[in-house]
Structure 1
């Protein structure tokens, strides 16, 4: 079953004092209050779901201390650059990507202070020769630190997605992420509840290992949409580790259709935002 085509929204409004990137219609930040909730896996699979629907999409891996996008997309090696020192993005499965992981050895620790990390984010965003994109997903590091602050001040963001798991300790931190985005005037497009339920591959028994209803309760409390709930499934992890995420490897699987549903809900929320005052084609020309 092929993915139903999706018409992505035109360029939406960004923070006051900034204007949309000349080749990127909409930037969407994907954040979480804590690590270990599957944020990067969610980002990559959402990107692939959008790509299968005809959306021109890219992923910027902003987690300079723990980049995982190259592994998940099966990419290695260094990106090429042009004579004027612009970076040519690495590409996999129809998705443009950029990550610090392409520029360092796998076992090299990133011992950088905050200003160096934030400079890397802005350089990757501005100096990468992105294709004309409908959506660029920025996979943020966990928390609400320097990189998130730089994102709000220097990167034109149309909206944000917050990823959480159902248990209280995760939703507590996710609330902080929602509050952070609201404080810096970045609309929260919705919440994704990851690892919501585990279905035994042998007997089919469904179990809410991390509790149930946490995402729905938080969405209601903070008046943000619940874009969808995704399962805890070993195949998701196995395919990401293999460099062929589940949405690419098994697009017709129920899990992949779950990502597709979240992607459609995300685009619907994005489409409801005010339009940018300057059209993308005007900026490109």
Structure 2
């Protein structure tokens, strides 16, 4: 959390907020977010997801919500987030129809997102994962500056163009004093669904190079797998569909690393001891 940030109304009950970000679209950020959230819940934590991609929300689809899902409202003021598989979720997809394009300028989108965040009754979460839109624009800056984000996870693929944009994401978080908790290299290798052969079609060790460049942890490497895509599109991501698989174990490993890092960071902050003296 940045030293100059105070929690806006609506998020005081959340222990840790993690922004999952990428420099560009198409790197599997939303799929990574939902599987990390499910993995963290599997570890016994209370977890939520804020779908911050106003123009292209996808968490409703990834978690299998009906297209007509709408949040209930308490006291004519607070949204009660819909829940799936133990995960509380808020998304613009729950407030619009899929045929309604949001032709909003930046300030309108940013205002709507902050309203969703602060007027949702998150009911005491341990972790809120924010599925950030790609890039480093208005929404990213507003969340970074106005929300007490505990840290960011950067999702990238190994190829040079994705790494170039991922660097911009890391630099943005550095500028607003939000720690980058680590890098997830997605689509690291392609696994043939017929023979199981693995091939690094997008390049090798890109995530490792990025983590070394910025002295942050490489949290994990995930394959480009047809199963991951099919399971996500079906509303039952891998952590749910194949709880004992090697891929699920990677997501669980990343979740444990994040939990350990944030627990360690929290322990470093303690109230000062005030003493009395006659001097």
TM over 0.5: same fold?
yes
Which residue in the other structure is 2:17 paired with?
Answer: 27
Deviation at 1:191, TM superposition (A): 0.4
- CA contact under 8 A between 1:15 and 1:157: conserved in structure 2? no
Are 2:132 and 1:140 equivalent residues in the alignment? yes
Are 2:4 and 1:16 equivalent residues in the alignment? yes
Which residue in the other structure is 2:275 paired with?
Answer: none
Which residue in the other structure is 1:150 paired with?
Answer: 142
Deviation at 1:199, TM superposition (A): 1.8
Which residue in the other structure is 2:182 paired with?
Answer: 190
Which residue in the other structure is 1:265 paired with?
Answer: 257
Q: Which moved more, 1:270-279 or 1:157-166?
A: 270-279
Are 2:59 and 1:69 equivalent residues in the alignment? yes
Map 1:212-227 → 2, pairs under 5 A: 212-227=204-219
Give the alignment partner of residue 55 of structure 1, picking from 29, 40, 45: 45
Are 2:102 and 1:110 equivalent residues in the alignment? yes
> Which string of whole-angstrom CA distances, capped at 9 and with x for unpartnered residues, describes residues 196-251 of structure 1?
01121222211001111111011101111100001110111111111111101111
CA distance in 2: counterparts of 1:86 and 1:148, whole angstroms: 24
Deviation at 1:274, TM superposition (A): 4.4
Deviation at 1:98, TM superposition (A): 0.1
- CA contact under 8 A between 2:2 and 2:176: conserved in structure 1? no
Are 2:222 and 1:207 equivalent residues in the alignment? no
> Which string of whole-angstrom CA distances, capped at 9 and with x for unpartnered residues, describes residues 64-83 of structure 1?
00000000001131111012
Which residue in the other structure is 2:247 paired with?
Answer: 255
The structure with the largest alpha-carbon Rg is 2
TM-score by length of 2: 0.92
Structure 1, gaps ≥5 residues long? 1-12, 280-285
Q: How many residues align?
A: 267
- CA contact under 8 A between 2:21 and 2:29: conserved in structure 1? yes
- Secondary structure in 2 matching 1:117: helix
- Secondary structure in 1 matching 2:257: helix
Cα 1:152–1:264 change in 2 (3 A) is same
Structure 2, gaps ≥5 residues long? 272-279
- Secondary structure in 2 matching 1:163: strand
User: What is the aligned-residue RMSD (CA, Å)?
Assistant: 1.6
Deviation at 1:138, TM superposition (A): 0.3
Give the alignment partner of residue 180 of structure 1, picking from 172, 179, 189: 172
Deviation at 1:22, TM superposition (A): 1.8
CA distance in 2: counterparts of 1:277 and 1:116, whole angstroms: 36
Q: Which moved more, 1:221-230 or 1:17-26?
A: 17-26
- Secondary structure in 1 matching 2:64: coil
- CA contact under 8 A between 2:185 and 2:220: conserved in structure 1? yes
